[in-house]
Structure 1
């Protein structure tokens, strides 16, 4: 049974295990920075199986006019169990009053389909343009 928690403290061991499990090692190279990012996020919902962190969604923004879905990740052993769907629905319901909801992600058919199922439109298919800069 998966338990969902909102804005709870998550220790670095669990964060590292989850982020590493999906290959997001750029985050785990600076665990202190990752912990600060989680703590300073506007909203975080985590999914737990017993004492193991198996999923997480976090958003940043002002919570009134713009919302940026920064991370949504599910441990590979728990993917395809609708955990991501529960997390995304929670965020979209909690922030339904926010007009702009934005996210960046890799382009893959299953990823594209997941976000489109929630009404997100890819900037390459609409009239919006997106820019980003990595250092």
Structure 2
């Protein structure tokens, strides 16, 4: 594996489609133009590459000063459990260490909870905060 990282938003749509479909995030790939525009308009995108193959990415939105929202973090199935997601997360958290409020919303699962807790996040059901969402 020849893993390297890029802060790059201009990722070929075929690469994005392959990654999002591989992790079964089909809601994103129903409209590929929308997906590509969402990536381009993100505050930051850090991607992981094995040679010329996109194997993972983390996408963040927000102002980068007072709030950072981790929108997407995904790794190709064949590359999971190799520490790539942790590397992506830690690089983003380090870059935006000055931002007081870092937020994400994800599905509930033991391994998912463990991943975020080991990266310094606290579930809103464990602390003093409450979370609300409206999803179409």
Partners of 1:30 and 1:55 lie apart in 2 by: 20
What's the counterpart of residue 23 of structure 1?
Answer: 24
Query: Stretches of 4+ moved more than 6 A in 1?
Result: none
Which ranges of structure 1 fall in alignment gaps of 5 or more residues?
none
Displacement after TM superposition at 1:39 (Å): 0.3
After TM superposition, the structure 1 = structure 2 runs for residues 1-135 of structure 1, keeping only pairs within 5 Å, are 1-135=2-136
Secondary structure, aligned partner of 2:28: helix
Q: CA deviation at 1:3?
A: 1.2
Residues 52-103 of structure 1, C-alpha deviations (whole Å, 9 max, x = no match): 1110001000000000000000000000111001100111000000000000
Segment drifting more, 120-129 vs 2-11: 2-11
Partner SS state of residue 122, structure 2: coil
TM value normalised by structure 2: 0.97
